[in-house]
Chains A and B, each alone.
Chain A
Amino acid sequence: MTDDQNDNTSNHDGGTPPPVGPVTDEELQAFAAEVSRDRLLSRVVDGEATPTDFAALRELAAQDQAIWSDLSGFSADRDLMEFAVEDAGDRAARVDAVAGSSAAVRTVVPWAGWAAAIAVAALAVFVPRGELPDGTMQSAGIVPVDLNLTSDEALDQYLELGQQEGRVVAEWPEPFVLETNAVSEDGSVEVVYLRQILERRVINEGYSISVNEWGEPVAVPEPPAAHLLPAIRRAKPIY
Chain B
Amino acid sequence: MLNDDVEQEIALIRDTDLISDRDAPAGVDHEGLGLARRVWTSHRRWVAAILLAHKPREADLDDLLQSVATAVVRKIGDLRDPGAVRAWLRTVAINEARLAARERGRRRKGLRLVGQREQARPEPAGVGRSAEEAERIDSLMRLVAELPESYREPLMLRCVRGMSYRQIAAITGLKETTIETRIARGRRLLRELVEKSEREGAGTEREQREPKDTAAVTGGVS
Stretch at the interface among A37-45, A129-137, A147-155, A202-210: A37-45
Determine the residue in chain A with the shortest Cβ distance to B140.
A80
Contacts A88-B48, A169-B113; A77 near B190 (Cβ below 8 A): yes
- The answer to whether B178 and A100 touch across the interface, beta carbons within 8 angstroms, is no
Whether A81 contacts B114 in the complex (CB less than 8 A), given A88-B61, A95-B44, comes out as no
Shortest distance in angstroms between A152's beta carbon and chain B's nearest beta carbon? 18
A173 with B106, Cβ < 8 A, contacts A97-B37, A101-B74 known? yes
Asked if A102 and B23 make an inter-chain contact with CB atoms under 8 angstroms apart, the answer reads yes
Q: What residues of chain B have their CB less than 8 Å away from a CB belonging to chain A?
A: 19, 22-28, 33, 36-37, 39-41, 44-49, 51-52, 61-63, 65-67, 69-70, 72-74, 103, 106-107, 110-111, 113-114, 119, 121, 125-127, 129, 133, 136-137, 140-141, 144, 146-148, 150-151, 155-156, 158-161, 164-165, 175, 177-178, 180-185, 187-195
Are B181's CB and A85's CB within 8 A? no
Nearest CB of B to A48, in Å: 7
A15 touches B137 (CB 8 A): no
**Can you list 24 A-B pairs with a CB-CB distance of less than 8 A?**
A9-B150, A10-B181, A13-B150, A14-B147, A14-B151, A39-B181, A46-B158, A70-B191, A78-B187, A81-B140, A81-B155, A81-B159, A84-B137, A86-B161, A88-B49, A92-B47, A95-B44, A98-B24, A101-B69, A101-B70, A108-B25, A163-B113, A170-B114, A173-B110
State the interface size on chain A (CB cutoff 8 A): 64
Instruction: Report the bound CA distance from A70 to B191 in whole Å.
Output: 8
Interface SS of chain A: helix
The number of inter-chain residue pairs (CB within 8 angstroms) is: 199
Least Cβ distance of A55 to chain B in Å?
19
Question: Shortest distance in angstroms between A73's beta carbon and chain B's nearest beta carbon?
Answer: 5
Verify A98–B22 contact, CB threshold 8 A: no
CB distance from A53 to the nearest CB of B (A): 12
Interface residue from B49, B65, B136 paired with A95 (Cβ < 8 Å): B65
Most buried by A among B103, B182, B195: B182
Distance A105 CA – B191 CA, assembled complex (angstroms): 43
- Asked if A93 lies at the interface with its beta carbon under 8 angstroms from chain B, I say yes
Q: Are A85 and B111 in touch, CB under 8 angstroms?
A: no
Asked if A67 lies at the interface with its beta carbon under 8 angstroms from chain B, I say no
